[in-house]
Amino acid sequence: MSYPYQIKSFDQYQQVYRHSVEQPEQFWAGIASHFTWKKKWDKVLDWNFESPDVKWFVGGKLNITENALDRHLQYNGHRPAIIWEPNDPDEHHRIITYRDLHFKVVQFANVLKNNGVKKGDRVVIYMGMVPELAVAILACARIGAVHSVIFGGFSAQSIADRLQDAQAEYIVTCDGAFRGNKDIPLKGIIDDALVQCRFVKRVIVLTRTRTPVSMIKGRDVWWEDEIKKVETMGNPDCPAEEMDAEDPLFILYTSGSTGKPKGVVHTCGGYMVYTTYSFVNVFQYEQEDIYFCTADVGWITGHSYIVYGPLCAGATTLMFEGVPTWPDAGRFWDIVDKYRVNILYTAPTAIRSLMSFGLGPVHGHDLSSLKVLGSVGEPINEEAWQWFHEHIGKGKCPIVDTWWQTETGGIMISNLAGVTPARPAHATLPLPGIQPVLVDEQGNELTHEGSLSGNLCIKFPWPSIIRTTYGDHERCRTTYFATYPGKYFTGDGALCDEEGNYRITGRVDDVLNVSGHRIGTAEVENAINMHGAVVESAVVGFPHDIKGQGIYAYVIYGNMHGDENLTRQDISQTVSRIIGPIAKPDKIQFVTGLPKTRSGKIMRRILRKIAEGELSNLGDTTTLLDPGVVEEIISGRL
């Protein structure tokens, strides 16, 4: 069975797209009418991109968990909502029906309430990929608390920064998380973060790894004990809090080109409508399909396309605790075979990494259940696209190349599986309701005379657009809405052909995309500079076979005596401690100076070219304070 708003042909796409642009309010009202609202909206849209101030479904009241859970109980309560595959293939998997999930969410919502959490409070969630992570998220939404999930690869310092910025008084975590052959001591990391965050009132700890943890009296409680308490209270219900369509649903931190990560805020109504609509249309989900997104819930992909989008659509979403290469590089294919997965959504970095093991790990697995493949996180290179298409999709599965961002909440530019044409390395066409435009450096809209190349902006709001950056609305304005007045600026460059097909070329700001994760160069530099003996540093990206981009650091080091490699390890450790292992530099080159202009600005363009190995054309170096450093840097290149 399909959905009333599911687009089934290219003609229909063109017709729907035209309608969505000509009459956006009527269009989105039609989509939104397929959801459960406690009170209908008074007005579909209020917006200006100057402040910015965007409101969708103004005056509407709802609770997203009634759409993700309660709505499915009557006819689909017995259907699997979450299939959970543990890290260790020998451990039992779990199948959680919509009825089970509803029960667990209600139960944990009561645990949160018992522990003092109220509507509007911020709750930080720092857990591995266990079903209870989805339960914790939905339980927050149930009572109107604002969740902020932090990816398990972030350090204590990063957690402390986020706790402080969000002023979060509540934390839900696990004793530890299994990832491949590693056991990450999540609660221990939380304890380190909390040394600086005395305002945290409660830490709820789920047992997963049985790693020994220390519990602080009056602050830390066990998930299991708290569940027992609500069980003895008798009343298993927890009515869904009435939320305004524009009340915040969650905060998710993401890196930018300057300063500390910012808390991207998404709201209840628009986010629900857009993630569900895009999920159904991009992947062409049909009832009873098994859908597997390999992302971590700690990133936006997991929020929108493991939890909210699929559950609001009543889909079966597969959640995998482990990593693609453990116990061997056939793990994804093993999972596809075991559960007869129909739709697989993954990242180019995972595909490239699995490609490097050859076809051995693919053989012996029956992948015939697959109908649709998806890619997200960075431009998918042609070679990875072909491998995915041929060896995983056996030439018969459309691949959707989905371009979007934490700030956009949902997929913006993508083909619709089997409905609109796919083209290797192209995200292709905008979804209905999305109005992309390319601009030149001066902000002039480029209009069609052949193919175009420019900076990618969106000129009209869509329901899941970022509303603010938590606690600092001005930062939201300057980052996204001030560069090209009247438009949302994505930070990406793109090409567009005569048919309107987009090809995203990558970030045009100082943001790196490492294994599909966004990392600001300034953030890595700040972390490196924390090392006692580092004088100054500059970080750029370089092409990396598997990660897409690697991190190249040029470091000026105060008198070097010991072993250079030990010093490198030491600097890496510092970055790991300040940000997390995901931000460790791949290469550290020691230099005595950096190429700077007379006004003291580092000329990253030159450093980038050197890191990329493009030594012949470094551009104009005559404005440098000391052109000699360039020679030195080139000769010491790693």
Q: Which residues of this protein are in contact with ligand WT7, per CB under 6 A?
A: 254, 300-301, 376-379, 401-406, 427, 490-492, 504, 506-507, 513, 516, 518
Closer residue to ligand WT7 in complex, CB, 332/403: 403
Q: Which residues contact 384 (CB under 8 A, 6 or more apart)?
A: 348, 351, 352, 355
Q: Cα–Cα distance between 439 and 499 in angstroms, integer? A: 17
Closer residue to ligand WT7 in complex, CB, 108/480: 480
Closer residue to ligand WT7 in complex, CB, 168/300: 300
In the complex, the smallest distance separating the C-beta of residue 504 from ligand WT7, rounded to whole angstroms, is 4
Give the distance, in angstroms, between the CA of residue 228 and the centroid of all CA atoms in the same chain.
Answer: 34
CA dihedral 499, 502, 505, 508 (to 10 degrees): 110
In the complex, the smallest distance separating the C-beta of residue 549 from ligand WT7, rounded to whole angstroms, is 10
Sheet holding 94-97, edge to edge: 94-97, 80-85, 316-320, 290-293, 343-346, 372-376, 399-402
DSSP secondary structure, 210-271, as one string:
-------TTTEEEHHHHHHHHHHT-----PPPPEETTSEEEEEEE--SSSS-EEEEEEHHHH
Minimal CB distance to ligand WT7: which residue? 406
Tokens, residue 254: 């993401």
Closer residue to ligand WT7 in complex, CB, 101/419: 419
Closer residue to ligand WT7 in complex, CB, 295/630: 295
CA end-to-end span of the chain: 56
In the complex, the smallest distance separating the C-beta of residue 497 from ligand WT7, rounded to whole angstroms, is 16
Residue 237, burial from CB neighbour count under 10 angstroms (0-12, 13-18, 19+): exposed
In the complex, the smallest distance separating the C-beta of residue 493 from ligand WT7, rounded to whole angstroms, is 9
Closer residue to ligand WT7 in complex, CB, 274/403: 403
In the complex, the smallest distance separating the C-beta of residue 494 from ligand WT7, rounded to whole angstroms, is 9
Q: Are 243 and 464 in contact (CB under 8 A)?
A: no
In the complex, the smallest distance separating the C-beta of residue 444 from ligand WT7, rounded to whole angstroms, is 22
Tokens, residue 303: 């929020």
Closer residue to ligand WT7 in complex, CB, 472/509: 509
In the complex, the smallest distance separating the C-beta of residue 517 from ligand WT7, rounded to whole angstroms, is 6
**What phi, psi does 264 have (nearest 5°)?**
-75, 125
Closer residue to ligand WT7 in complex, CB, 190/306: 306
CA dihedral 580, 583, 584, 586 (to 10 degrees): 160
Longest dimension (CA), the chain: 77
Closer residue to ligand WT7 in complex, CB, 186/504: 504
Q: Cα–Cα distance between 87 and 78 in angstroms, integer? A: 26
In the complex, the smallest distance separating the C-beta of residue 330 from ligand WT7, rounded to whole angstroms, is 25
Q: Are 406 and 431 in contact (CB under 8 A)?
A: no
Closer residue to ligand WT7 in complex, CB, 142/266: 266
In the complex, the smallest distance separating the C-beta of residue 553 from ligand WT7, rounded to whole angstroms, is 21
3-state helix, strand, coil in the chain (%, to 5): 35, 25, 40
Closer residue to ligand WT7 in complex, CB, 129/171: 129
Give the distance, in angstroms, between the CA of residue 280 and the centroid of all CA atoms in the same chain.
Answer: 19
Closer residue to ligand WT7 in complex, CB, 76/455: 455
Q: Is the peptide bond before 327 cis (omega within 30 degrees of 0)?
A: yes
In the complex, the smallest distance separating the C-beta of residue 583 from ligand WT7, rounded to whole angstroms, is 13
Element holding 494 (H helix, E strand):
strand 488-496
In the complex, the smallest distance separating the C-beta of residue 6 from ligand WT7, rounded to whole angstroms, is 22
Q: Are 400 and 291 in contact (CB under 8 A)?
A: no
Q: Cα–Cα distance between 416 and 119 in angstroms, integer? A: 37
In the complex, the smallest distance separating the C-beta of residue 149 from ligand WT7, rounded to whole angstroms, is 13
What single letter denotes the amino acid at residue 261? P
In the complex, the smallest distance separating the C-beta of residue 261 from ligand WT7, rounded to whole angstroms, is 11
